[in-house]
Amino acid sequence: MRRGRYLCCFFGLLFCGACEPQQPVDSNPTTTIAAPASRVVTLAPHLAELIFAVGAGDTLVGVSAYTDYPERALSLPVVGDAFLVDQEQLALLRPDLLLAWASGTPQHVVDQLRAVGYRVESIRTRGLDDVGLALEKIGALTGHVASADIAATAYRGALHALAEKHAAAPAIRVFYQVSQQPIYTINGDHYVSQLIELCGGHNIFAELSELAPLVSEEAVLERDPEILLAAADASQDALANWQRWPGLAANRYRNHWLLPAAEIGRASPRLSSAGEVLCGVLEQARDNRQSALQQS
Protein backbone atom coordinates (compact mmCIF):
# COMPACT_ATOMS: atom_id res chain seq x y z
CA MET A 1 0.00 0.00 0.00
CA ARG A 2 2.75 2.47 0.90
CA ARG A 3 4.51 1.70 -2.40
CA GLY A 4 1.30 2.34 -4.33
CA ARG A 5 0.70 5.62 -2.56
CA TYR A 6 4.26 6.70 -3.23
CA LEU A 7 3.99 5.96 -6.94
CA CYS A 8 0.64 7.72 -7.24
CA CYS A 9 2.07 10.78 -5.56
CA PHE A 10 5.36 10.72 -7.45
CA PHE A 11 3.83 10.31 -10.90
CA GLY A 12 0.93 12.61 -10.21
CA LEU A 13 3.25 15.41 -9.18
CA LEU A 14 6.42 14.80 -11.17
CA PHE A 15 4.92 13.99 -14.53
CA CYS A 16 1.71 15.99 -14.73
CA GLY A 17 3.76 19.06 -15.52
CA ALA A 18 4.85 17.31 -18.71
CA CYS A 19 1.22 16.81 -19.69
CA GLU A 20 0.50 20.52 -19.80
CA PRO A 21 1.99 23.29 -21.95
CA GLN A 22 4.67 24.91 -19.85
CA GLN A 23 3.65 28.53 -19.35
CA PRO A 24 5.55 31.13 -17.39
CA VAL A 25 4.84 30.80 -13.69
CA ASP A 26 6.00 32.61 -10.60
CA SER A 27 9.56 31.91 -9.53
CA ASN A 28 10.73 31.97 -5.91
CA PRO A 29 11.92 35.48 -5.07
CA THR A 30 10.95 36.83 -1.69
CA THR A 31 7.35 37.93 -1.96
CA THR A 32 6.07 41.17 -0.42
CA ILE A 33 2.37 41.23 0.48
CA ALA A 34 0.13 43.66 2.36
CA ALA A 35 -1.01 41.06 4.91
CA PRO A 36 0.28 37.55 5.58
CA ALA A 37 -1.98 34.70 4.53
CA SER A 38 -3.82 33.11 7.44
CA ARG A 39 -5.79 30.33 5.67
CA VAL A 40 -3.64 28.35 3.26
CA VAL A 41 -4.42 25.34 1.08
CA THR A 42 -1.61 23.35 -0.55
CA LEU A 43 -2.03 21.52 -3.87
CA ALA A 44 0.89 19.09 -3.49
CA PRO A 45 2.11 17.01 -0.51
CA HIS A 46 5.57 18.55 -0.31
CA LEU A 47 4.08 22.05 -0.16
CA ALA A 48 2.29 21.16 3.07
CA GLU A 49 5.61 19.91 4.42
CA LEU A 50 7.24 23.22 3.48
CA ILE A 51 4.47 25.14 5.30
CA PHE A 52 5.23 23.27 8.51
CA ALA A 53 8.98 23.61 7.98
CA VAL A 54 8.74 27.43 8.15
CA GLY A 55 6.60 27.30 11.30
CA ALA A 56 3.34 28.21 9.54
CA GLY A 57 1.49 24.96 10.13
CA ASP A 58 -1.31 26.76 11.98
CA THR A 59 -2.21 28.60 8.77
CA LEU A 60 -2.81 25.38 6.82
CA VAL A 61 -6.52 24.56 6.47
CA GLY A 62 -6.52 22.12 3.53
CA VAL A 63 -4.17 19.79 1.68
CA SER A 64 -3.94 17.60 -1.42
CA ALA A 65 -4.25 13.84 -1.64
CA TYR A 66 -1.29 11.78 -0.35
CA THR A 67 -0.26 14.49 2.11
CA ASP A 68 1.08 12.48 5.04
CA TYR A 69 3.91 14.47 6.63
CA PRO A 70 4.19 15.77 9.25
CA GLU A 71 1.61 13.81 11.23
CA ARG A 72 -0.42 16.93 11.97
CA ALA A 73 -1.20 17.23 8.25
CA LEU A 74 -3.10 13.92 8.28
CA SER A 75 -6.06 15.48 10.08
CA LEU A 76 -6.58 18.28 7.55
CA PRO A 77 -9.33 18.24 4.89
CA VAL A 78 -8.29 16.99 1.45
CA VAL A 79 -9.27 19.27 -1.44
CA GLY A 80 -8.28 17.01 -4.34
CA ASP A 81 -5.23 15.69 -6.13
CA ALA A 82 -2.75 16.98 -8.71
CA PHE A 83 -5.38 17.06 -11.45
CA LEU A 84 -8.72 17.88 -9.83
CA VAL A 85 -9.70 20.28 -7.04
CA ASP A 86 -13.00 19.93 -5.16
CA GLN A 87 -14.46 23.40 -5.49
CA GLU A 88 -17.16 22.79 -2.87
CA GLN A 89 -14.64 21.70 -0.29
CA LEU A 90 -12.42 24.62 -1.18
CA ALA A 91 -15.28 27.08 -0.73
CA LEU A 92 -16.01 25.68 2.75
CA LEU A 93 -12.38 26.18 3.78
CA ARG A 94 -12.35 29.88 2.69
CA PRO A 95 -8.60 30.03 1.95
CA ASP A 96 -6.90 33.35 1.32
CA LEU A 97 -3.96 31.63 -0.40
CA LEU A 98 -3.49 28.50 -2.49
CA LEU A 99 0.00 27.12 -3.05
CA ALA A 100 0.54 25.30 -6.34
CA TRP A 101 3.59 23.40 -7.60
CA ALA A 102 5.09 25.29 -10.51
CA SER A 103 6.15 22.19 -12.46
CA GLY A 104 3.47 19.83 -11.14
CA THR A 105 0.08 21.51 -10.84
CA PRO A 106 -1.42 21.67 -14.35
CA GLN A 107 -1.60 25.23 -15.61
CA HIS A 108 -5.30 24.94 -16.44
CA VAL A 109 -6.02 24.10 -12.78
CA VAL A 110 -4.15 27.23 -11.67
CA ASP A 111 -5.97 29.33 -14.27
CA GLN A 112 -9.39 28.01 -13.22
CA LEU A 113 -8.73 28.73 -9.56
CA ARG A 114 -7.58 32.24 -10.31
CA ALA A 115 -10.57 32.81 -12.58
CA VAL A 116 -13.00 32.19 -9.70
CA GLY A 117 -11.13 34.60 -7.45
CA TYR A 118 -8.58 32.59 -5.50
CA ARG A 119 -5.08 33.85 -4.98
CA VAL A 120 -2.67 31.18 -6.24
CA GLU A 121 1.09 31.32 -5.79
CA SER A 122 3.26 28.84 -7.71
CA ILE A 123 6.23 27.33 -5.87
CA ARG A 124 9.14 25.98 -7.92
CA THR A 125 10.93 22.93 -6.49
CA ARG A 126 12.75 21.22 -9.35
CA GLY A 127 16.30 21.45 -8.02
CA LEU A 128 17.99 21.45 -4.63
CA ASP A 129 18.45 25.24 -4.59
CA ASP A 130 14.74 25.72 -5.22
CA VAL A 131 13.83 24.21 -1.85
CA GLY A 132 15.63 26.91 0.10
CA LEU A 133 14.05 29.60 -2.06
CA ALA A 134 10.64 28.00 -1.61
CA LEU A 135 11.03 28.08 2.17
CA GLU A 136 11.84 31.78 2.02
CA LYS A 137 8.95 32.56 -0.29
CA ILE A 138 6.43 30.67 1.84
CA GLY A 139 7.80 32.37 4.93
CA ALA A 140 7.15 35.75 3.33
CA LEU A 141 3.66 34.76 2.19
CA THR A 142 2.64 33.57 5.66
CA GLY A 143 4.43 36.15 7.79
CA HIS A 144 7.06 33.71 9.06
CA VAL A 145 10.16 35.30 7.54
CA ALA A 146 12.51 34.76 10.48
CA SER A 147 11.70 31.08 11.02
CA ALA A 148 11.79 30.48 7.26
CA ASP A 149 15.26 31.99 7.08
CA ILE A 150 16.39 29.67 9.86
CA ALA A 151 14.94 26.63 8.08
CA ALA A 152 16.48 27.63 4.73
CA THR A 153 19.88 28.27 6.30
CA ALA A 154 19.85 24.90 8.08
CA TYR A 155 18.86 23.10 4.87
CA ARG A 156 21.57 24.78 2.81
CA GLY A 157 24.14 24.18 5.51
CA ALA A 158 23.36 20.46 5.63
CA LEU A 159 23.75 20.13 1.86
CA HIS A 160 26.96 22.14 1.89
CA ALA A 161 28.42 19.86 4.56
CA LEU A 162 27.55 16.80 2.49
CA ALA A 163 29.11 18.34 -0.61
CA GLU A 164 32.34 19.12 1.23
CA LYS A 165 32.52 15.66 2.79
CA HIS A 166 32.19 13.89 -0.57
CA ALA A 167 34.00 16.37 -2.82
CA ALA A 168 36.90 13.99 -3.42
CA ALA A 169 34.84 10.81 -3.75
CA PRO A 170 35.71 8.67 -6.81
CA ALA A 171 33.15 8.95 -9.59
CA ILE A 172 30.61 6.17 -10.06
CA ARG A 173 28.00 5.76 -12.81
CA VAL A 174 24.44 5.81 -11.44
CA PHE A 175 21.07 4.84 -12.90
CA TYR A 176 18.10 6.12 -10.92
CA GLN A 177 14.89 4.27 -11.77
CA VAL A 178 11.60 6.02 -11.13
CA SER A 179 9.47 3.19 -12.51
CA GLN A 180 10.18 -0.25 -13.91
CA GLN A 181 7.54 -0.62 -16.64
CA PRO A 182 7.77 1.67 -18.51
CA ILE A 183 11.25 2.77 -17.49
CA TYR A 184 11.32 6.39 -16.34
CA THR A 185 14.39 8.09 -14.92
CA ILE A 186 15.49 11.68 -14.22
CA ASN A 187 17.74 14.21 -15.92
CA GLY A 188 20.40 16.42 -14.38
CA ASP A 189 17.97 19.20 -13.42
CA HIS A 190 16.07 17.00 -10.98
CA TYR A 191 16.92 17.34 -7.30
CA VAL A 192 17.63 13.60 -6.97
CA SER A 193 20.21 13.82 -9.76
CA GLN A 194 21.75 16.83 -8.04
CA LEU A 195 21.97 14.81 -4.81
CA ILE A 196 23.70 12.03 -6.76
CA GLU A 197 26.25 14.52 -8.10
CA LEU A 198 26.70 16.04 -4.65
CA CYS A 199 27.60 12.57 -3.36
CA GLY A 200 30.17 12.07 -6.11
CA GLY A 201 28.02 10.03 -8.46
CA HIS A 202 27.20 10.61 -12.11
CA ASN A 203 23.65 10.25 -13.42
CA ILE A 204 24.02 8.36 -16.71
CA PHE A 205 21.03 10.24 -18.17
CA ALA A 206 21.88 13.69 -16.81
CA GLU A 207 22.13 15.26 -20.26
CA LEU A 208 18.57 14.46 -21.39
CA SER A 209 16.26 17.45 -21.84
CA GLU A 210 13.12 16.17 -20.08
CA LEU A 211 12.96 16.29 -16.30
CA ALA A 212 11.65 12.72 -16.12
CA PRO A 213 12.47 11.02 -19.44
CA LEU A 214 11.29 7.65 -20.69
CA VAL A 215 14.26 5.42 -21.54
CA SER A 216 14.75 1.94 -22.97
CA GLU A 217 16.43 -1.11 -21.48
CA GLU A 218 18.93 -0.93 -24.32
CA ALA A 219 19.87 2.64 -23.42
CA VAL A 220 20.49 1.68 -19.79
CA LEU A 221 22.56 -1.37 -20.74
CA GLU A 222 24.60 0.65 -23.23
CA ARG A 223 25.56 3.18 -20.54
CA ASP A 224 26.47 0.33 -18.18
CA PRO A 225 25.72 1.88 -14.76
CA GLU A 226 27.82 0.74 -11.82
CA ILE A 227 24.94 1.17 -9.38
CA LEU A 228 21.17 0.91 -9.74
CA LEU A 229 19.01 3.04 -7.46
CA ALA A 230 15.26 3.19 -6.90
CA ALA A 231 12.95 4.64 -4.29
CA ALA A 232 10.87 1.87 -2.79
CA ASP A 233 9.90 0.06 0.38
CA ALA A 234 12.73 -2.09 1.68
CA SER A 235 10.56 -5.20 1.29
CA GLN A 236 10.17 -4.70 -2.46
CA ASP A 237 12.94 -5.13 -4.98
CA ALA A 238 12.05 -2.76 -7.77
CA LEU A 239 15.38 -3.52 -9.47
CA ALA A 240 15.11 -7.31 -9.77
CA ASN A 241 14.38 -7.14 -13.49
CA TRP A 242 17.94 -5.94 -14.22
CA GLN A 243 19.44 -9.17 -12.92
CA ARG A 244 18.72 -10.71 -16.31
CA TRP A 245 21.96 -9.13 -17.55
CA PRO A 246 24.80 -10.54 -15.41
CA GLY A 247 27.39 -8.59 -17.38
CA LEU A 248 25.94 -5.25 -16.29
CA ALA A 249 28.47 -3.51 -14.07
CA ALA A 250 25.92 -2.93 -11.30
CA ASN A 251 25.21 -6.66 -11.23
CA ARG A 252 28.88 -7.64 -11.23
CA TYR A 253 29.43 -5.28 -8.30
CA ARG A 254 26.18 -6.32 -6.56
CA ASN A 255 25.06 -2.72 -6.46
CA HIS A 256 21.26 -2.71 -6.31
CA TRP A 257 20.05 -0.20 -3.72
CA LEU A 258 16.63 1.01 -2.57
CA LEU A 259 16.25 4.46 -1.05
CA PRO A 260 13.57 5.60 1.45
CA ALA A 261 10.68 6.73 -0.70
CA ALA A 262 9.20 9.28 1.69
CA GLU A 263 12.42 11.29 2.00
CA ILE A 264 13.75 11.06 -1.55
CA GLY A 265 10.32 11.57 -3.14
CA ARG A 266 9.52 14.98 -1.67
CA ALA A 267 11.23 18.30 -2.40
CA SER A 268 11.51 19.41 1.21
CA PRO A 269 14.18 19.95 3.88
CA ARG A 270 14.17 16.18 4.40
CA LEU A 271 16.25 15.97 1.23
CA SER A 272 19.28 16.66 3.41
CA SER A 273 18.54 13.43 5.31
CA ALA A 274 17.93 11.63 2.03
CA GLY A 275 21.29 12.94 0.84
CA GLU A 276 23.05 11.42 3.84
CA VAL A 277 21.52 8.03 3.05
CA LEU A 278 22.34 8.38 -0.64
CA CYS A 279 25.95 9.36 0.00
CA GLY A 280 26.33 6.39 2.31
CA VAL A 281 24.93 4.09 -0.37
CA LEU A 282 27.38 5.42 -2.96
CA GLU A 283 30.27 4.92 -0.53
CA GLN A 284 29.27 1.29 -0.07
CA ALA A 285 28.80 0.90 -3.82
CA ARG A 286 32.36 2.09 -4.42
CA ASP A 287 33.63 -0.44 -1.86
CA ASN A 288 31.66 -3.17 -3.62
CA ARG A 289 33.16 -2.14 -6.94
CA GLN A 290 36.67 -2.20 -5.55
CA SER A 291 36.17 -5.63 -4.00
CA ALA A 292 34.77 -7.05 -7.24
CA LEU A 293 37.63 -5.65 -9.29
CA GLN A 294 40.21 -7.07 -6.90
CA GLN A 295 38.64 -10.52 -7.15
CA SER A 296 38.46 -10.53 -10.94
Distance CA 141, CA 272 (A): 24
Sort 96 into a burial class: Cβ within 10 Å, 0-12 / 13-18 / 19+: middle
Distance CA 171, CA 189 (A): 19
pLDDT tier for residue 6 given thresholds of 50, 70 and 90: very low
CB 55 within 8 A of CB 144: yes
| pLDDT score of 34 | 52
This prediction has a pTM of 0.87
Q: Which residues of 47-80 are buried (b: 16+ CB within 10 A; e: fewer)?
A: bbbbbbbbbbbebbbbbbbbbbbeeebeebeebb
| pLDDT score of 171 | 97
In the predicted structure, residue 2 carries a pLDDT above the cut 70: no
Distance CA 81, CA 79 (A): 7
Q: What is the pLDDT of residues 121-174, one digit of tens each?
A: 999 999 999 999 999 999 999 999 999 999 999 999 999 999 999 999 999 999
Length reported for the chain = 296
Instruction: Provide φ and ψ at 131, rounded to 5°.
Output: -65, -45
Distance CA 18, CA 213 (A): 10
In order of their start, the domains of the chain are 2-162 (3.40.50.1980), 167-295 (3.40.50.1980)
Torsion of Cα atoms, 193 then 130 then 281 then 239, to 10°? -50
Section 256-280 average pLDDT: 95
| pLDDT score of 134 | 98
pLDDT tier for residue 35 given thresholds of 50, 70 and 90: confident
Percent pLDDT > 90 in the chain is 81
CB 137 within 8 A of CB 122: no
